[in-house]
Copies of this chain bind each other. A is one copy, B any other.
Amino acid sequence: MTGVRRISILGATGSIGRNTLDVVGKHPSLFRAVALACRSDWQGLVPLARRFGPRVAALFDEEAAARAEEALKGTGIKVLGGLGGLLEAASLQEADTVVSSIVGSAGIMPTFAAVEAGKVVALANKEALVAAGRLITREAGRTGASIIPVDSEHSAVFQALMGQDRSAVRRIVLTASGGPFFGKGPEALAGVTPEMALDHPNWKMGPKVTVDSATMMNKGLEVIEARWLFDIPAENICVLVHPQSIVHSMVEFTDGSTLAQMGIADMRIPISFALGFPRRIDLGLEPLDLTALGKLEFYEPDREMFPCLDLAYEALRREGTMPAVLNAANEAAVEAFLEGRLPFGAIPEVVRAVMDTPPVFDGDTLAGILKGDRMVREAARGIISRYGEHP
């Protein structure tokens, strides 16, 4: 790596954003934060901006932007508001790498903007590739943007593929922790509250991803993401439950070799990999102690108990706009669950219902996909409202 890499972080106040800043802060000779952006958490963003001194701070919420501007007066940091501000942070001329970690479909447009600007995109936002995978990978081909995954699973696959004979890949095996309800009977899912779903055994993540992990929709979205990141058909992507979350994923080759990437569950590992690629950064972490772990286990996922996984495979098979439909319907359902308006077990039911009579929209343009996203949410809300109040 020559010189300092200049990093723009979209979603700076979230879990990925803060871990990214931890890596950046510990390696000032390698990285500098030139833009920090988030949706609305100005009280979270202001101290980060003071500490890391980016040229730009951007907040999607205009009112939050005004408050941040007030708080950062005199620092020389330029505060931008609204979608325009977010997109400017995503395509900032002086940024080498854009960390795209705004959660949900709100991350689609900024991710596209970074790809359009030909940046190295460290991609943590899943939904962009799920909803607009064809569009984004085509645009990356046009602009020369490279997409380096930050998700631990896709980072693992990316690492395992480096320098290998790509024509000899037989399968990608994504591992799943199984979430907080792995191994419990179906009756355990009946009374799941947001608190229970948010109690993930291995990873500390934001609420949307944690609920997706509990339904295994997270793994389904990752299957779709993997299809676009690695240009591999759905039938060659499989999922194994691995409760220890040490093997982050694997690639199986035609000669019977499997390459796996392992590590402790610390997002700074895949983040620093994406920031430093192709160099690795010494993070000063304790080495993985496999003897202390005792054992690594692997199980087939329970597809009946976690129907979201098969819904994602179905969406990928049906192609076109269906992955975007799956994604938006799931997002609406998870939101409703977190707000107590939908039982946990109804999340796949809502997604299933929307996929059965999906809104029709143009999946080949960004505008069409964003419009479709709104249409699907509306359709999902109609279905959700029928569930009535949930304690």
Interface residues of chain A, those whose CB is within 8 Å of chain B, are 159-160, 162-165, 167-168, 170-171, 173, 240, 247, 250, 252-264, 266, 268-269, 272-273, 276, 278-283, 285, 287-288, 290-291, 293-300
Q: Are B272's CB and A262's CB within 8 A?
A: no
* B240 and A254 contacting across the interface, CB-CB below 8 Å: no
Q: Which residue of B lies closest to A1 (CB)?
A: B165
Contact of A283 among B164, B165, B256, B290 (CB under 8 A): B256
**Which residues on the B side are within 8 Å of A168 (C-beta)?**
279-282
**Contact A298-B287, Cβ < 8 Å, known A259-B159, A269-B257:** no
Cross-chain contact A288 with B258 (CB below 8 angstroms): yes
Contact across chains for A256 and B266 when beta carbons are under 8 A apart = yes
Residues of B within 8 A of A240 (CB): 290-291
Known A-B contacts A240-B290, A257-B262; the reply to A163 vs B162 at CB < 8 A is yes
Interface pair B291/A299, CB less than 8 Å apart: yes
Instruction: From known contacts A266-B256, A280-B253, infer whether A287 and B165 are also in contact, taking CB-CB under 8 Å.
Output: no
Alpha-carbon separation in the docked complex, A281 to B250 (Å): 19
Contacts of A170 in B (CB 8 A): 287
Task: Report the 5 A-B pairs with minimum CB-CB distance, sorted nearest first.
Answer: A163-B163, A168-B280, A162-B163, A290-B298, A254-B282
Residues in chain B near residue A276, CB distance under 8 A: 255
Distance between Cα atoms of A162 and B188 in the complex (Å): 45
Q: Are B262 and A280 in contact (CB under 8 A)?
A: no
17 A-B pairs (CB sep. < 8 Å) = A162-B163, A165-B279, A173-B290, A240-B291, A253-B280, A254-B282, A256-B264, A256-B266, A256-B269, A256-B287, A257-B261, A260-B261, A260-B262, A291-B300, A294-B297, A295-B298, A296-B297
A254 to B269, CA, bound (A): 10
A252 touches B287 (CB 8 A): yes
Asked if A259 and B256 make an inter-chain contact with CB atoms under 8 angstroms apart, the answer reads: no
Per the bound structure, the CA–CA distance linking A293 and B257 in Å amounts to: 16
Main secondary structure of the interface of A (DSSP, over half): mixed
Known: A240-B290, A282-B254, A287-B252. A163 touches B165 (CB 8 A): no
Return chain B residues, CB-CB under 8 Å to A273: 255, 257
Contact B287 A171 (CB under 8 A): yes
A300 proximity list for chain B (CB < 8 A): 291
Which chain B residues lie closer than 8 Å to A165 at the CB level? 278-280
CB–CB A298/B288 < 8 A: no
In the bound complex, what is the Cα–Cα distance between A252 and B246 (angstroms)? 13
> A295's contact among B171, B266, B297, by CB below 8 Å, is which?
B297
Q: Which residues of B contact A281 (CB under 8 A)?
A: 168, 254-255
Considering the chains assembled together, what is the distance between the CA atoms of A163 and B159 in angstroms? 9
| B296 lies within 8 A of A259 (CB) | no
List 9 other contacts, CB 8 Å, given A256-B288, A296-B296: A160-B259, A168-B282, A247-B260, A253-B280, A255-B283, A256-B264, A256-B268, A290-B298, A293-B298
When C-beta atoms are compared, the residue in chain B nearest to A171 turns out to be: B287
| Contact yes or no, A260 B257, CB < 8 A | no
- In the complex formed, the residue of B with least CB distance to A270 is B257
A298 to B244, CA, bound (A): 14
The smallest C-beta distance from A163 to any residue of chain B, in angstroms, reads: 2
B residues less than 8 Å from A288 (CB atoms): 252, 256, 258
Residues of B within 8 A of A254 (CB): 280-283
Shortest CB distance A35–B (Å) = 24
